[in-house]
Amino acid sequence: MKNFWDIVNDVIGQSDIVMEILDARFVEETRNKELEDRIRAKGKKLIFVINKCDLAEKGVLEKKKRELNPCVFVSAIKRFGITMLLHEIQRHADKSKERVVVGVVGYPNTGKSSVINALKGRASAPVSPQSGFTKALQLIRITSRIYLLDTPGVYSYMEKDAAKHALISSMDFSRIKDPESAVISLLEYNRKAIASHYGVKELKDSEALLVEIAVKMNKVKKGGVPDTKLAAQMLLKDWQRGKIRII
């Protein structure tokens, strides 16, 4: 399979406009600055699409919108902001071209296929909750002249930070080799939201907080010992499925 940059260069080369899909819960973590620089260097228009906006606070998102331009908030699952996104694409599309290709890039599980399906209005691109489900380039028509170029959900092979991939859901929870360490990093990121979600006290000690969550989830081994590894896996699953809302 081609590596990350081979695929990205193909997409940039074939596209007139490129949309970078970002996760509203961690916008900066799901940005790829080098990718953005390459898009601009090729003279292609870049649109930032902040997906899953229903899972983040509006004030935080408004601040990000001031930093990123042009930028559109959407919730592909709830079909919020999709009409606005289509208008934004049409605004930047070259009126002289009979066919305008819009490349769709982003980390796995940011919701690229869901955004495409929402723009199309039906299940035109296969969607799976498992990270990296899309396997090959797909050209999908959404209007008489606008086509979307979907890409595999891949990330740079140079990135080995499992905790980051757990955080931004770019690696499926079942593939995280050390779920406890990943959850500790996740708790450092937003312990308040996680503690609130599971109805436990917001402890400053992340390891102790994970123990409390394991007990609350009734994940215990023989003898009543909290099974923190299993609890961590379940927590990562909830996080990646969007069940835990950032506060």
pLDDT tens digits along 154-199: 554 445 565 666 666 666 778 788 889 888 888 887 888 899 999 9
Give the predicted TM-score (pTM) of the model.
Answer: 0.69
Tell me whether the omega of the peptide bond preceding residue 70 falls within 30 degrees of 0, making it cis: yes
Residue of higher predicted confidence among 150 and 191: 191
**Structural contact between residues 183 and 232, judged by C-beta atoms closer than 8 angstroms:** yes
What span, in angstroms and rounded, lies between the C-alpha atoms of 157 and 154? 9
Model confidence at 17: pLDDT above 60: yes
What domains does the chain contain, in order, with CATH numbers? 4-150 (3.40.50.300), 162-240 (1.10.1580)
